């Protein structure tokens, strides 16, 4: 069993914002895999599931807003009895350049409130992550305003390319351990 959790904020006003790239990644792979999301109050989010190449796959988009993402991850874990080692969290990263992504399996929150919440609710900093680069804002542009703003047309093109690569990494991970996935995709 594999589970992918995309971080973001619910609501139309946040749909195309930088902070919602985790949701965007899941929406793209759900379309490819024919997965439909259904609201789950037990999991505090939207859950989709399918059998992909013989592997049971879950997708979770928390409805708790970014800063409380850990509540949804913990509720999902408990409801479906999913080991944290089988979950990969996908989220935006200011410290990674737009158009790039990085995989890692442990570390601090790096100031990301969604990751901070997951660490609090799971009690560990060790879990699989795919960080999608959104770059830092220009000097004088507040971080909150930046992450809650939509991508420019130019940036949207770069985002589409990196989301396709993230989807390749997610598919690869179905048949390979996370460390092999990191070795193959880090540096792309």
| Catalytic (active-site) positions | 19
d(CA 133, CA 79): 31
* Cβ neighbours of residue 138 closer than 8 Å, sequence gap 6 or more: none
Helix (H, G, I), strand (E, B) or coil at 174: coil
What are the DSSP calls for 36-68, one per residue?
Answer: --EEETTTTEEEEEEEETTEEEEEEEESS-GGG
d(CA 90, CA 86): 13
CA distance 164 to 162: 5
Widest distance between CA atoms in the chain: 50
- CA 136 to CA 76: how far, in whole Å? 31
Rounded Cα–Cα distance for residues 13 and 2 (Å):
30
Q: What is the DSSP letter of 6?
A: E
Q: Check residue 17 and report its DSSP letter.
A: B
């Amino acid at each position: 069993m594999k589970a992918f959790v995309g971080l973001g904020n619910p609501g139309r006003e946040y749909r195309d914002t930088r902070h919602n790239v985790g949701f965007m990644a899941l929406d793209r792979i759900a379309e490819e895999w024919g997965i439909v999301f259904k609201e789950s109050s037990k999991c505090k989010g939207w859950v989709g599931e399918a059998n992909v190449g013989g592997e049971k796959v879950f997708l979770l988009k928390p409805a708790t807003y970014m800063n409380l993402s850990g509540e949804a991850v913990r509720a999902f874990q408990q409801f479906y009895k999913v080991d944290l080692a089988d979950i990969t969290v996908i989220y935006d990263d200011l410290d990674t350049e737009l158009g790039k992504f990085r995989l890692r399996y442990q570390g601090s929150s790096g100031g990301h409130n969604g990751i901070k919440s997951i660490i609090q609710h799971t009690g560990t900093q060790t879990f699989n992550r795919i960080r999608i680069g959104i770059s830092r804002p220009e000097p004088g542009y507040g971080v909150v305003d930046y992450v809650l703003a939509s991508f420019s047309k130019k940036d949207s093109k770069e985002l589409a390319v990196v989301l396709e690569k993230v989807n390749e990494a997610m598919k690869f991970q179905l048949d390979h351990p996370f460390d092999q996935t990191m070795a193959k995709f880090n540096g792309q």
